[in-house]
């Protein structure tokens, strides 16, 4: 009984330590723990913030509560596209606020929304050809190859290259090069030809995924048919009615794929 109590205490102490160690992330850094500070300018207004923060967490540290410009906080959703310039530089830089560490003298503005065209289409009725791209996005022909889109991409994608590939009808190249796009919209806002690169890429990727990567494997279609025809019905009826003990037994006896294959080979 006494040992039992010790165990509980220890586990709780572990939870307490984990919680303490995570505090700077979960409830924010304490001023007294900060060693290095930088000054950032949020839409021109200066704030002193801890140097370890990202643009996103620094803006929060300064006292802003996000309604826009903050989504997944991990670089996947494209909500926190940010344009900034560093003191003394002419160059406009871009980044995702959640993925960029603050630097002293950053002048920041967030771009949480892009007013972009997105036409409606039904892939089943479209031709798998470059003509479809021009049908919905004729403005791609206006690309002047200035490469500003590529420079603006916070994912480091070769945006201009895939726009050029789209014009040439090389859908595989578009799909591969644009695959990591998080659709933040910064390319489109910087484009002098007003092309919505990321929506063009979305159309092409869908066409390529549907028509360019081959049909769905035959075994998928076969399995769907088997399920629809009730091939597993009896077995599943039985399985769903088993007791916990019966299920546990089946579960612990089931073989891993490699073992399964071996048995099959030896048959």
Partner 1 sequence: MAELKYIEGYPEYMYQLIQRVHETREKRKTFEFPAMTKEEQEEILNQLHPDNISGGNREISIGPNKGEMAVNQIVDLLEAYPLIEEGEVDLTHVDYTPDIMIIGGGLAGTTASIWANVQGVPNDKILLVNKLRHGDANSIMAEGGTQAADREVDSVQRHFLDTMGGGHFTNKPDVVRALVEDAPLIMNWLHELGAMLDREENGDFVEKWGGGTSIKRLHSCRDYTGLEEFRVIRDEFRSREIECIEHFPVVELLTDGKGRVSGAILYNLETGEYKVVQAKATILATGGFGRLHIRGFPTTNHYGATADGLVLAYRAGARLRDVDTVQYHPTGAAYPLQIIGYLLTEKLRTSGAQPVNIDGEAFVYPLETRDVEMSAIIRECYVRNKGITTPTGLIGVWLDTPMIEVKNGQGYIDKAFPGMRRMFSRYNIDMRKNPVLVFPTLHYQNGGVETDPWGHSTLEGLWLAGEVSGGVHGKNRLMGNSTLDTMVFGRRSGISAAEYVKSGKDFAALSLEHTKRYVKMLGEAGIGPQRRSPMLLPEYRGKAALARMIDVF
Taking CB under 8 A as the criterion, which residues in 219-258 touch partner 1? Answer: 219-224, 227, 232, 235-236, 239-242, 244, 247-248, 250-252, 254-257
Residues in CB range of 89: below 8 A, 6 or more apart:
none
Answer whether 143's CB lies under 8 Å from 163's CB.
yes
- The residue within the footprint of partner 1, chosen from 1, 6, 44, 65 (CB under 8 A), is 65
Paired tokens of 157: 């994608």
The answer to whether residue 26 forms part of the interface with partner 1 (CB under 8 A) is yes
123 binds partner 1 (CB under 8 A): yes
Point out which span in 4-12, 38-46, 81-89, 140-148 binds partner 1 (CB under 8 A): 4-12
Q: Is 87 in the site for partner 1 (CB under 8 A)?
A: no
Please report how close the Cβ of residue 194 comes to partner 1 at its closest, in angstroms: 19
At 47, phi and psi to the nearest 5?
A: -140, 140
Using the minimum distance from each CB to partner 1, give the nearer residue, 15 or 146.
15
2, 43, 215, 229: which one binds partner 1 (CB under 8 A): 215
CA–CA gap between residue 168 and residue 27 (Å, rounded): 51
Pairing between strand 37-42 and 45-50? antiparallel
**Buried b or exposed e, range 72-96, using 16+ CB within 10 angstroms:** ebebeebbbbbbbbeeeeeeebbbb
77 binding partner 1? (CB under 8 A): yes
Interface residue with partner 1 among 17, 45, 87, 142 (CB under 8 A) is 17
Burial per residue of 116-133, b for 16 or more beta-carbon CB atoms within 10 angstroms, e otherwise: eeeeeeeeeebeeebebb
101 is a site residue for partner 1 (CB under 8 A): yes
Check residue 71 and report its DSSP letter: S
Among 176, 102, 169, 179, CA closest to 140:
169
Q: Among residues 82, 100, 132, 150, which is the contact residue for partner 1, using CB under 8 A?
A: 100
Assess 30 for contact with partner 1 (CB under 8 A): yes
Residue 14 beta carbon to partner 1: minimum distance, rounded to whole angstroms: 4
Candidates 75-83, 141-149, 160-168, 189-197: pick the segment binding partner 1 (CB under 8 A).
75-83
The reply on whether position 64 binds partner 1 by CB under 8 A is yes
Q: What is the DSSP letter of 142?
A: G
């Amino acid at each position: 009984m006494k040992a039992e109590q010790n165990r509980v205490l220890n586990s709780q102490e572990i939870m307490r330590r984990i919680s303490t160690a995570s505090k700077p992330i979960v409830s924010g850094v304490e001023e007294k723990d900060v060693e290095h500070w930088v000054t950032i300018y949020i839409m021109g207004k200066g704030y002193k913030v801890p140097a370890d923060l990202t643009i996103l967490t620094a803006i929060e540290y300064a006292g802003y509560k996000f309604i826009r410009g903050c989504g997944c906080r991990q670089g996947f959703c494209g909500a926190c596209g940010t344009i900034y310039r560093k003191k003394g530089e002419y160059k406009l830089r871009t980044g995702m606020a959640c993925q960029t560490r603050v630097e002293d003298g950053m002048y920041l503005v967030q771009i949480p929304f892009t007013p972009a065209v997105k036409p409606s289409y039904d892939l089943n009725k479209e031709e798998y050809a470059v003509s479809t791209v021009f049908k919905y996005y004729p403005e791609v022909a206006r690309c002047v190859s200035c490469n500003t889109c590529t420079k603006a991409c916070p994912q480091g994608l070769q945006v201009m290259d895939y726009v050029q590939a789209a014009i040439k009808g090389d859908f595989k190249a578009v799909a591969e090069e644009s695959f990591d796009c998080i659709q933040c919209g910064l390319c489109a806002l910087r484009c002098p030809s007003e092309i919505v690169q990321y929506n063009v890429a979305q159309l092409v990727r869908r066409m390529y995924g549907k028509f360019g990567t081959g049909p769905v494997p035959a075994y998928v279609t076969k399995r769907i048919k088997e399920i629809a025809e009730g091939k597993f019905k009896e077995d599943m009826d039985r399985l769903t009615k088993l007791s916990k003990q019966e299920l546990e037994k089946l579960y612990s006896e089931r073989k891993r794929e490699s073992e399964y294959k071996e048995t099959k080979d030896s048959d």
